[in-house]
Chains A and B, each alone.
Chain A
Amino acid sequence: MRCRHLYVWALMAAMLLPCNRVWAAFGEDIEAPKPKFSQEGADWIATLVPRGKSTEIKIRFHATGGTLTAAEAKVFAADAMPQVDQKTFRSDFFRLQMTPAAPGGDVSLAVNSNYFTTATELWGAVSVNSPVWQTTGAVNVKNVDRGNTLTLTVRDGGPLDADGQADGRVEVICGPRDSFWGYALGTLFIRFFGVFIVLGVLEVGMLISGRIFQRIAARAQPPAAQSPTEEPPMEETHAVAPETVAAIALALHLKAGAGGLKPSMHTGLSSGSPWSQIGRAKIMSDRMPVFDRPKRK
C-alpha cells in the first residue's frame, strides 16, 4: 500500500472518531410514534406508525371483567427511565384507564395487533412505590387471522395499578416490547442472504436461457460450421500463431507510421506486397461512405 493512500484511511478514522459524542447529539427522537385513538364499541384502537416502519398499524385494547374508559399515549422524557431503551418499544407506551366490576376486583386486559410477533412482550411498571420497568407477564397468544394478543390480568390496587389503591379505578402504563437488536440483526442477516438468493435465481435463469440460446444458435448455423471436425481444418486457424499476428500488426503499424502509404497513394506505385495493397484499398473504401453526401441522414 502506498503512502499516498493513507489519507483515505486517516479521513475515515477522523470522521468516525466523534461517534460517542454524536450519540448524545442525536437527542431528537424523529421516529417516535404518534398514536391516534378511536373507539369501536367497548374497544379502544390506537393507529400509529411504529419505529422502523413506513406504514400504519393498529393496536386494539379490550377489557374483560371491567370497562376500558380511556386510552392515551404516555410520553416519557428521554432520561425519565434510564433502565429502558425506548427504541425497543417500537409501538410506543400507553396509559389505559379501566373500571373493574367492583373496587379491588380484577380486570383482564387484551392488547391485540397484527404487528406483534410471538416474541413481543408487554412491559410495564410492576411496583408502585419503587417502579421497576419489566415484563408484566402478559400471555402471548397467536390468533390465526388477527395477529398476536397479549393478555394481562390487573388487580385494582395491585402492583400493576399505577395509583396503587383499590379505589375502583385501574390505571395501567405499559408498552409492547420487541428485542431491537434481535430484530435488526435477524432481519438483516436474512435480507443479506436474500440478495444472494435473488441474484442466484437470476443466475440460474440466465444459465438456462443461455444454454437454450446457444443450442438455437448452433442449430441455425450451416452444417459445415456445426461439425468442424469433419471438415479439413482451415489453414488460418492453426497456422497463424498469436506472435505472428502481433508481428504483422507491428509491421503494418510501422509502415503506416513511417508514411509508407503516402507515396504509393500519390504516385500509384506499389510500396508493399499485394496483400497490404488490398488492405489499404479496403480501408479507403470503408472511409468513402463518410463522404458520400446523398447517403447522409
Chain B
Amino acid sequence: MSESRTVASLLLAAVAGLALFPFASDEFYLELFTHFMVLGIFAMSLDLLIGYTGLVSFGHAAFFGLAGYLLAIITPESEAMSLWVSLPVCLAGVALAALVIGWFSVRTSGIYFIMITLAFAQMTFYYFNENVALGGSDGMFIFTKPTVGIGGFEIIDLGDPTTVYYAVLASLVACYLLLSMVLRAPFGRVIKAIRVNEHRTRALGYDTRRYKLAAFVIAGTMAGFAGYLEAVSTGIVSPGHLSWHQSGLVLILVILGGMGTLYGPVLGAFALGLLHDQVQDVTVHWQLVQGIFVILVVLFLPHGIAGLVARLARRGAALAERAREPES
C-alpha cells in the first residue's frame, strides 16, 4: 500500500515538474521534451500489450506511423482542418487497421506473434515507402495544423510550441489515467490473467482471443494517438515512423523503463532521449552507443529503471526498519 502511494506521489511530483518546465526551458528542450512525452504515450500503449497482456508486438510502429499518414492525407494543403474531425478520423482508421492486423496476430502466440506483427508492420512500411503518390521514402508534410475550436472560437493554437507541449502533457496524463482505469476494470483482470496463464484463463470461461484482440486494438489506437500528436507537432510524417527500427525503439523504451508499470515506459523515453541528447555532442555513432546500451540493459537491468527504483525503495524501507528496531 505505501509503495503504491510513494509511486503516486512521485508521479504527481514528476507531472508538476513537467508542468513547470516551460518556464525554465528554451524552445529546443521544450520541443525535445514534447517529443519524449509523445514517445512516452507510444511506449505506454505498448506496455499494455507486453507488460500486461503478455503479447510481445514487434510491429507497434505501424499504428504510430499510420495515424500520421492518415492526418497528412486528409489535411488539405491550404486551409486548416478541425481537430474534432481529423483526430476521430485518424483514430478510427488506426483502430480498424489494428483490428485487422490483430485478428490475424492473436491467432498465434509467442515467437509467431513477434514475427507476424513485425511482418505486418513491414507490409505497411513498404506500402508507404514505395507509394510515390504518398511521398515515397521522403514522406509527407502536414501543411496546416489542426484547429481546435469550440463554437467558432479558436481555443488552442497548435502552432505554438508551448501550447503543444501542454496539450501533449495533458494527453500523457489522460492516457495514463485511461489505461489505469481499464486495468482496474474487469477487462484488466482478464488480460493480466492471460499474461500469467492463458490456458487456465480459457478454462475458466474466457474467450481469450477476443480479449487479446481488444487489448491489441486499444494499444494500437493509443499508439495511433501518439503518432497523431507527433505528426501535429513536427508537421511531417515519413516511412521511418513505421519502420521496424521505430518498433524496436519503442520496445527498448518499455524494457528500459520497466514493463508492467505504465509510467516506466515514459521514464524510458526520457532516459534514452536524454542519453541521446548527451551522446550526440560527443560522437556521431549514436547507434553504436544505443546498441551497447540495449545489450547491457538486457543483461543487467531486465526489470528496467522502474524495477531498479522499486528495489532501491525496498532496500531503503528495510534499512529504515532495521534502524527503527533498536528503539522499540
Q: Do A and B come from one complex?
A: no
